[in-house]
Structure formats: structure tokens, C-alpha cells
């Protein structure tokens, strides 16, 4: 399947979907605390989606039963909200999306609860920064594999982390998961050229140990094989017609984080 190239008008609608995702993240970040169940976070996400007249792209996705994925500690991605209680010291990863007028947004973050092991905090910081490095590398005219190269190089420069191999980023538009698949590792200079109208979800997933994973008996939850803790960050970004990027799922379009890396975001949205 060809990569879907979006028009400026379509990107404007995707920005609306992205802002709903940003609002969900904000609401969950503000509410999350020890003693809460993971299903209480799901309820918050549902309310935000409803308030904005959006729909969830997670609920019902291949039978997924909830609005968010919530993955705790050695769970890395695709955890199902439920009765699990969030504790002090946990690392919680939340992934969610929203649809507006048929266009999708998708983003994830990890957060430490209460008093955090400094190594867990570093895990999350490295994962998040690798995502920004990946987005910065995925500029107009770059090759797709430049993104994974940047993610892997940065992650490996920070210590011994396992970069998940079986899961990666993706194109996104009128469906949540589109071509191309975006690896979080690999050599630079390969794959399609990134051009205006591309929209990609960049989502590194790393652990403090092995990159090997298992899927739990619920058929969804991905855990590290060695029980090491994991982190997951994701943003959806676009290349605008002016050739500049814009992070659709970030309130400021990624302006502040990308400026640190010498990248200027578009002002077309
Ligand atoms: Mg996601
Ligand atoms: Mg995604």
C-alpha cells in the first residue's frame, strides 16, 4: 500500500484529533496517583473524548476493550485497564488516540508515580528524548530509516537499554496504523524519502534490560521477558507543505522540544 500523503486541510483536521489526544494526556497526568486503578484512568480518557465529540480508535481495535492502553512496570505496551492499583514507585505508560471527522491521532507517555527509582526516571527520560531525536531526524528530505537510526544511536549512547524490535512506529491518517512501519533501530539512509504530507507516529519502546518480550495470556499485554521495567513515548507528527515538521499531538506543536534540537516547527497549523 502506498504512503498516504495528506493535504493541508486534512492536516488541519488531524491537528484537531491530535489536540484531543493531548487533552487526554493532560487529564491523566493531572489525575494519576497512588491508589487509583488503571480502569479509573480509562474512565478519564473516555470523558475527554466524549467532551470533544471525538471517538476512540483504541476501543474495539482488533477487539481491544478500552480507550487507553495502560502498562505498568515490566508491562511495556498494550496493557488493558482493570482493577490493578497504581502504587508509589510504579512506572506507568499510557497510550491513547482519538478520531475527529475520520482522522486519527495517537500518542503515549510514561510517568513515574510518587518516589521514583532514579534509574527508572532515567529510563523514561532516555525513551522520551529518543522520540524527540527520532522526530527531529525524520525531517523533510530525510530517509525513513534515519528516524530509527537516531533513536537507536541516542538510546545506546545513554546506557544499556533493550530496544523492542517487534513493535515500532507507523504512518497514521484515515486509519490509526498505515504504511510505513517505522523501526526504532537500524542503519541510516534507507527507505522512502520523507516529504510534505507525511504523518508518522514515532514511538520508541525500551527496557532497562532485555529487548525480548512476551505477550500475557490476555493476548494483549506486552511484558519484558526478563521482567525489567519498560517505557514508551509516542507522538504523531506531520511534515507541512512548507517542509517543516509539526507535532500534532503536542499542545505547542513540538516547538519547545524541537527547538532544543535545532528544528523549527511549521506555523501553518
Ligand atoms: Mg499509540
Ligand atoms: Mg502508535
Residue by residue, pLDDT tens for the chain (269 residues) are 689 999 999 999 999 999 999 999 999 999 999 999 999 999 999 999 999 999 999 999 999 999 999 999 999 999 999 999 999 999 999 999 999 999 999 999 999 999 999 999 999 999 999 999 999 999 999 999 999 999 999 999 999 999 999 999 999 999 999 999 999 999 999 999 999 999 999 999 999 999 999 999 999 999 999 999 999 999 999 999 999 999 999 999 999 999 999 999 999 99
Tell me how crowded residue 34 is: count the other CB atoms within 10 A of its CB.
13
Q: Which residues pair with 201 in a beta bridge?
A: 170, 236
CA angle 220, 217, 185 (to 5 degrees): 45
Distance from Cα 1 to the centre of ligand 2, integer Å:
18
The C-alpha atoms of residue 97 and residue 81 are separated, in whole angstroms, by: 15
- To the nearest 10°, report the CA torsion of 237, 222, 164, 239: -10
* pLDDT value of position 1: 67
* pLDDT value of position 28: 98
Task: Report residue 159 as a C-alpha cell.
Answer: 546506557
User: Residue 89 burial (CB < 10 Å; 0-12/13-18/19+)?
Assistant: middle
Q: Is the peptide bond before 210 cis (omega within 30 degrees of 0)?
A: no
Among all bound ligands, the one having the nearest atom to the CA of 233 is 1
Distance from Cα 168 to the centre of ligand 2, integer Å:
8
Distance from Cα 168 to the centre of ligand 1, integer Å:
10
pTM for the model stands at 0.98
Among all bound ligands, the one having the nearest atom to the CA of 200 is 2
Among all bound ligands, the one having the nearest atom to the CA of 70 is 1
Q: Who surrounds ion ligand 2 at CB < 5 A?
A: 106, 201
Residue 249 · residue 18 · CB < 8 Å? yes
Distance from Cα 238 to the centre of ligand 1, integer Å:
16
Among all bound ligands, the one having the nearest atom to the CA of 237 is 2
Distance from Cα 216 to the centre of ligand 2, integer Å:
20
Tell me how crowded residue 7 is: count the other CB atoms within 10 A of its CB.
11
Which residues 6+ apart lie within 8 Å of 123 measured at CB? Answer: 91, 161, 206, 207, 208, 229, 230, 231
Residue 114 · residue 34 · CB < 8 Å? yes
Distance from Cα 256 to the centre of ligand 2, integer Å:
22
Distance from Cα 53 to the centre of ligand 1, integer Å:
20
Among all bound ligands, the one having the nearest atom to the CA of 202 is 2
Task: Report residue 1 as a C-alpha cell.
Answer: 500500500
Which residues 6+ apart lie within 8 Å of 250 measured at CB? Answer: 18, 22, 107, 235, 257
Distance from Cα 177 to the centre of ligand 2, integer Å:
7
DSSP-assigned letters across all residues of 102-142: TEEEEEEEEEE-SS--HHHHHHHHHHHHHHHHHHHHS-TT-
Task: Report residue 16 as a C-alpha cell.
Answer: 484537531
Tell me how crowded residue 261 is: count the other CB atoms within 10 A of its CB.
14
Q: Give the SS3 label for residue 205.
A: strand
Distance from Cα 252 to the centre of ligand 2, integer Å:
20
The C-alpha atoms of residue 78 and residue 70 are separated, in whole angstroms, by: 7
In the chain the domains, ranked by start, together with CATH numbers, are: 8-260 (3.90.230.10)
Distance from Cα 117 to the centre of ligand 1, integer Å:
25
Amino acid at each position: 500500500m502506498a504512503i498516504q500523503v495528506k493535504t493541508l486541510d486534512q492536516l488541519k483536521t488531524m491537528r484537531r484529533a491530535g489536540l484531543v489526544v493531548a487533552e487526554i494526556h493532560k487529564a491523566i497526568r493531572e489525575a494519576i496517583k497512588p491508589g487509583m486503578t488503571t480502569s479509573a484512568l480509562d474512565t478519564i480518557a473516555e470523558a475527554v473524548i466524549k467532551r470533544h465529540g471525538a471517538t476512540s480508535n483504541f476501543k474495539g481495535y482488533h477487539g481491544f476493550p478500552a480507550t487507553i492502553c495502560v502498562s505498568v512496570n515490566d508491562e511495556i505496551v498494550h496493557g488493558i485497564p482493570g482493577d490493578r492499583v497504581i502504587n508509589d514507585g510504579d512506572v506507568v505508560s499510557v497510550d491513547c488516540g482519538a478520531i475527529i471527522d475520520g482522522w486519527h491521532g495517537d500518542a503515549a507517555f510514561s510517568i513515574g508515580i510518587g518516589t521514583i527509582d532514579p534509574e527508572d526516571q532515567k529510563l523514561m527520560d532516555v525513551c522520551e528524548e529518543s522520540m524527540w531525536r527520532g522526530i527531529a531526524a525524520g525531517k523533510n528530505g530525510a530517509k525513513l530509516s534515519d528516524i530509527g537510526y537516531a533513536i537507536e544511536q541516542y538510546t545506546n549512547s545513554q546506557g544499556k537499554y533493550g530496544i523492542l524490535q517487534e513493535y515500532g512506529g507507523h504512518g497514521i491518517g484515515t486509519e490509526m496504523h498505515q504504511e510505513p512501519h517505522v523501526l526504532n533501530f537500524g542503519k541510516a539512509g534507507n527507505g522512502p524519502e520523507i516529504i510534505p504530507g507525511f504523518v508518522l507516529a514515532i514511538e520508541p519502546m525500551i527496557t532497562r534490560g532485555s529487548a525480548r518480550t512476551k505477550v500475557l495470556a490476555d493476548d494483549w499485554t506486552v511484558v519484558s521477558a526478563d521482567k525489567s521495567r519498560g517505557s514508551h513515548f509516542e507522538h504523531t507528527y506531520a511534515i507541512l507543505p512548507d517542509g517543516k515538521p509539526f507535532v500534532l499531538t503536542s499542545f505547542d506543536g513540538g516547538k519547545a522540544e524541537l527547538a532544543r534540537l535545532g528544528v523549527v516547527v511549521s506555523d501553518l497549523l
